[in-house]
Structure 1
Amino acid sequence: MNTFLQIHPKDNVLVALQDLPAGRQIDFNGTSIQLSHNVPAKHKFPFRPLHSGDPVLMYGVLVGKAVTDIAPGEPITTKNLQHDADAFHEKDANLQWQAPDVSKWKNKTFNGFHRADGQVGTRNYWLVIPMVFCENRNVNVIKTAFEKGLGFAPPEVYNEQVNDLVNLYKSGNLDAIKTYQAAENIQASTRSSVFPNIDGVKFLIHEGGCGGTRQDSDALCALLAGYIHHPNVAGATVLSLGCQHAQVSILQESLKKLNPDFNKPVLVYEQQTSGSEFNMLSNAIRDTFLALVEANKLERKPAPLSKITIGLECGGSDGFSGISANPAIGHTSDLLVALGGTTILSEFPELCGVEQELINRCEDEATADKFITIMRAYENQAQSVGSGFYMNPSPGNIKDGLITDAIKSAGAAKKGGTSPVRDVLDYTEYVTKPGLNLLCTPGNDVESTSAEVGSGANVVLFTTGLGTPTGNPIAPVVKLATNTRLAQRMPDIIDIDTGSIISGQKTIAQMGEEILDYVIRIASGEEITKAEILHQDDFIPWKRGVSL
């Protein structure tokens, strides 16, 4: 196994692939370097002297500027490097893309749920949605009733643990409580014996709909419409208070924008005109049950791989993210695009420094100009409140080698592979063009994943170096570890280990192909993700205020 890596020939720093002790001799390009300090795995060090003000390059792009002299073999830290990134401008080049060989998958299909509008789902869910946070309690009442009644409830292992502890307490056995260990018994099944063709009833609890700006309410309605329109959804039950900003009429208008012929069942109940709460909930439960009877009649049938839309996401990133998992799913993206499928790359603050490359990958100037406009507006909005993209890396990111936003961004952008950018979408816009789409979202894991699914992703590939349990209510989220140590430490949340790229056992292309095969099995319902097993149903709408 190699102990260090130069990611791009232009780079003037190396990445430690394992912990390197002080005094270690590194031989690179005919030069011998002695490490002056310990360099932890995932961190960087220069192989020639850097002086204060010198640029630092990674992935072939500017990722920072030295603020002190940095000797060869000295670790790059927040004390000797500050964020810096190349400026961007209008499109000045055209991409000549060489699509990968996809002959292996040409005749492959997946088994999905075919919708009347031509979309194909990887799951078959019914949604229950509050238009405003005031209805969250009522939604939770329906949630408890349906999950327990239909067998969709999460495992009760923790309830059993509390019952055991109560019994020990009642018996006065406090010493036994201190040493008590629950038996791990997380059940993999998400099936209902009543409705075998329905994957679940899901609930989009949120804290919006009123009390914020009208822009936020309109965006919430557009996002909820994207979820109802989504191919993984058979229909929805909507609870409205009645007086909130996020009116049902706005939701209905948003649905018509997505599809003028929209015909999925949407059951609406307004509390302020329904009389008693009991009557409203009882009617909603009865009508929803009847709708589930109809939704259960739909069965999986073969569909071309072009009907798969993959969201490309990362969270809890580390110094290996841009070397292993991110480029691996980038290759998966290229394979799917070559097969006529669709991918979505989001997290605009994590594209800082690679904008020009993406601009030049845009199919036309109008697409490039839209990307430029959105990126500049987002950065200006962040700066107007005393923030900026440079503040994006979290403490966990920095600890594991992502010292600046540009370092993080250059690695994060690898999720988008190398294919042309077919379209640029603002928040809540729905995909209409096959190929790679750029979607404006924050870098926040759940806000971004929620948005990707709302824009049509029926599978999400989520890379993580530190361990992030994010899932989604209606789309399977495949969790990919950037390193084997994480995969072994947190096996209950990790689906795929890409650490074999770091060890040299597999190439990025080999791993990308394996991921596509796994996606096909997930899309067909042959396997379920760890996030689905754990009922990890994360959903956070983005308020268009500053969120990085």
Structure 2
Amino acid sequence: MMNRAITINDTDNLGVALTDLKKGEEIELGQYKVTLQHDIPAKHKFALHDLAVGGEMFMYGLVVGTAKEPIAAGAPITVANTAHKATEFSDKATAEFHWTAPDVSRFENRTFMGYHREDGQVGTDNIWLVFPLVFCENRNILTLKKAFESALGYTSGDTYQELAHALVQKHQAGEAFDTATLQKVAAEPKKEVFENVKIKFITHQAGCGGTREDSDTLCRLLAGYLKNPNVAGATVLSLGCQNAQVSVLQDAIKDKSGELTKPLLIFDQQETGTETDLIENAMKATFKELIEANKLKREPAPLSKLTIGLECGGSDGFSGISANPTLGHVSDMIAAMGGKAILAEFPELCGVEQELINRTKNPAHATKFINLMRSYAKAAEDAGSGFDMNPSPGNIKDGLITDAMKSAGAAKKGGSSPIVDVLDYTEYAETPGFSLLCTPGNDVESTTGLVGSGANVVLFTTGLGTPTGNPIAPILKVSSNTKLAERMPDIIDINAGEVIEGKKSIPEMAEEMLEQVIKIASGEVESKAVKMGHEDFIPWKRGVSL
């Protein structure tokens, strides 16, 4: 039977409504018994005892805010009556850390069917990547995209194009039309030319005109994409005069990989001459490499070869109770099996720093984490912002009132295993186990960074619905609530709302999720983001992006 409200930790003094609650209802949670002073919508919080001005609010056992005005027991927690406050942290561990790994016996000796690379990594896909070193080449990238996707059988059956044609035809014939009755007729899909390789295209607005740091960072990010095991090789277009020089990219590749063992085709427009020659040369050479890349086939690989990126976007008041803890359990399972899991979004770790510091095995990694967090927070404050401004209007509307409240739930994606490494943006995950990666909370910038640091699958939780994907790594969307899964089935892969409804436990949900990851990683099914063609890529310019 579904509970109507819960507390998450025994020390919490805020209750969470799991369903719409009515004024006058009596709610009993642990030591507290309160009569609601107002209606409390599902996902929102209410006080379990009277709070004086400045009184601290606790969720997940952490401080998540203070009262700006007296708040009576049973009253809702709102933006108007709550101020941001986060749990402070020390430069060193404050508690001894012990971890009990989850039971992974169900997955012993399990494998996924992946693409094995010379460096020992295994891809969940086999992608030839085409990208520019500078935004000046975006038009040429799109020219290549249009030509290849049409010839290789990727673009048939565009239902929206069919709808547009139907609308125009009705208008030109002078016929009245009701858009609701127009049929969206898809053409018969073409058979794709290559069975074992896909071609994907990236564009961006970077590479020149900004700081040299930004262009250098772009090259390190792209070098990470080249190293990612999902990539078979790449075609790179350079204008020639940009800050992001070919030599900068090559140096970044050597720093990450030594000598790249994958084919890399580089074409310089100013050196080549005409645009026609550039495009034709790139197309001929790329097609030749596609033929070779298509010869590689999927083979069994242990689950230790998975690198799972952990992400959230469009979070709601249930994310930290259902979807995020489920990801955390998957993260722990992956770590227990010798795989890698990466948690990003540093603005959404505000208030949980001490818990993470206590989990860090190497004191040098703890120091690095503290320095990254403090420098990031200072940069935000210097720009007139701050982590406290991180929650979006959608977050607030659905129950995440302060950044500390949002962060406490977001951090649950990281489970409870030891932290084996702390990575700055563009650094690559090399150590088996659970790592932290410094990225913004911005969904696409963060996901872009996770894949550049080696994630070959990304688990992405959402409570409101976020239609984003990545060009080279499959992203599985995990809904925090059933209403979202039913309302937006085209983007949701897994419904963790069953945890809220009491139908599944977190471990049960996590095992179901890992089974789906194995299918996705093996190419047996496509994630919804892949089906929808969501292929977002936004490099972080290292300015203030929350």
Alignment TM class, shorter chain as reference: over 0.9
Q: What does residue 350 of structure 1 align with?
A: 348
Q: TM-score with structure 2 length normalisation?
A: 0.98
Question: Counterpart amino acid of 1:376?
Answer: R
Shift of 1:492: 0.2
| C-alpha distance in 2 between matches for 1:154 and 1:511 | 37
Residue 56 of structure 1 aligns to a residue whose secondary structure is strand
Shift of 1:35: 1.1
Question: Counterpart amino acid of 1:90?
Answer: D
Residue 279 of structure 2 aligns to a residue whose secondary structure is helix
Q: Residue 271 of structure 1 contacts residue 280 of structure 1 at CA under 8 Å; is this kept in 2?
A: yes
Question: Counterpart amino acid of 2:154?
Answer: F
Q: What does residue 57 of structure 1 align with?
A: 58
Q: Residue 479 of structure 2 contacts residue 485 of structure 2 at CA under 8 Å; is this kept in 1?
A: yes
Q: Residue 6 of structure 2 contacts residue 29 of structure 2 at CA under 8 Å; is this kept in 1?
A: no
Q: TM-score with structure 1 length normalisation?
A: 0.97
Shift of 1:456: 0.2
Question: Counterpart amino acid of 1:140?
Answer: L
| C-alpha distance in 2 between matches for 1:393 and 1:297 | 47
Q: What does residue 147 of structure 1 align with?
A: 149
Q: Residue 253 of structure 2 contacts residue 259 of structure 2 at CA under 8 Å; is this kept in 1?
A: no
The 5 Å alignment of 1:457-476 reads 457-476=455-474
Shift of 1:154: 6.7
Q: Residue 154 of structure 1 contacts residue 534 of structure 1 at CA under 8 Å; is this kept in 2?
A: no
Q: Residue 255 of structure 1 contacts residue 262 of structure 1 at CA under 8 Å; is this kept in 2?
A: yes
- Alignment pair present for 1:11 and 2:9: no
Distance 1:373 1:443, change over 3 A: same
Q: Residue 154 of structure 1 contacts residue 535 of structure 1 at CA under 8 Å; is this kept in 2?
A: no
| C-alpha distance in 2 between matches for 1:154 and 1:373 | 50
Q: 5+ residue gaps in structure 1?
A: none
| C-alpha distance in 1 between matches for 2:528 and 2:156 | 13
- Alignment pair present for 1:165 and 2:167: yes
Shift of 1:179: 4.4
The 5 Å alignment of 1:523-538 reads 523-538=521-536
- Per-residue CA deviation, residues 5-49 of structure 1 (Å, 9 max, x unaligned), is 010001001000000011212233465422111100000001111
- Per-residue CA deviation, residues 439-497 of structure 1 (Å, 9 max, x unaligned), is 00000000000000000000000000000011100000000000000000000000000
Q: What does residue 196 of structure 2 align with?
A: 197
Q: Residue 169 of structure 1 contacts residue 177 of structure 1 at CA under 8 Å; is this kept in 2?
A: no
Q: Residue 168 of structure 1 contacts residue 177 of structure 1 at CA under 8 Å; is this kept in 2?
A: no
Shift of 1:389: 0.2
Q: 5+ residue gaps in structure 2?
A: none
Q: What does residue 98 of structure 2 align with?
A: 96
| C-alpha distance in 2 between matches for 1:400 and 1:96 | 34
Q: What does residue 331 of structure 1 align with?
A: 329
| C-alpha distance in 2 between matches for 1:340 and 1:487 | 32
The 5 Å alignment of 1:255-270 reads 255-270=253-268
- Alignment pair present for 1:38 and 2:36: no
Distance 1:133 1:76, change over 3 A: same
Distance 1:322 1:256, change over 3 A: same
> Size of the alignment, in residue pairs?
544
- Alignment pair present for 1:396 and 2:420: no
Q: Residue 345 of structure 1 contacts residue 416 of structure 1 at CA under 8 Å; is this kept in 2?
A: yes
| C-alpha distance in 2 between matches for 1:172 and 1:178 | 15
The 5 Å alignment of 1:285-364 reads 285-364=283-362
- Alignment pair present for 1:412 and 2:414: no
Q: What does residue 124 of structure 1 align with?
A: 126
Q: Residue 84 of structure 2 contacts residue 404 of structure 2 at CA under 8 Å; is this kept in 1?
A: yes
Distance 1:312 1:186, change over 3 A: farther
Q: What does residue 244 of structure 2 align with?
A: 246
Q: Residue 165 of structure 1 contacts residue 177 of structure 1 at CA under 8 Å; is this kept in 2?
A: no
Q: Percent of aligned pairs with the same residue?
A: 59
- Per-residue CA deviation, residues 288-322 of structure 1 (Å, 9 max, x unaligned), is 00000000000000011000000000000000000
Question: Counterpart amino acid of 1:231?
Answer: P
Question: Counterpart amino acid of 2:496?
Answer: T
Q: What does residue 80 of structure 2 align with?
A: 79
- Per-residue CA deviation, residues 256-313 of structure 1 (Å, 9 max, x unaligned), is 1111131211101100010110011001001000000000000000011000000000
| C-alpha distance in 2 between matches for 1:163 and 1:183 | 10
Between stretches 148-157 and 511-520, larger displacement belongs to 148-157
- Per-residue CA deviation, residues 135-164 of structure 1 (Å, 9 max, x unaligned), is 000000000001110012374111111111
Select which of 418, 421, 433 maps to 2:419: 421
Shift of 1:90: 1.8
Distance 1:119 1:166, change over 3 A: same
CA RMSD after TM alignment? 1.4
Shift of 1:86: 1.5
| C-alpha distance in 2 between matches for 1:149 and 1:83 | 54
Residue 317 of structure 1 aligns to a residue whose secondary structure is coil
Residue 176 of structure 1 aligns to a residue whose secondary structure is coil
Q: Residue 110 of structure 1 contacts residue 521 of structure 1 at CA under 8 Å; is this kept in 2?
A: yes
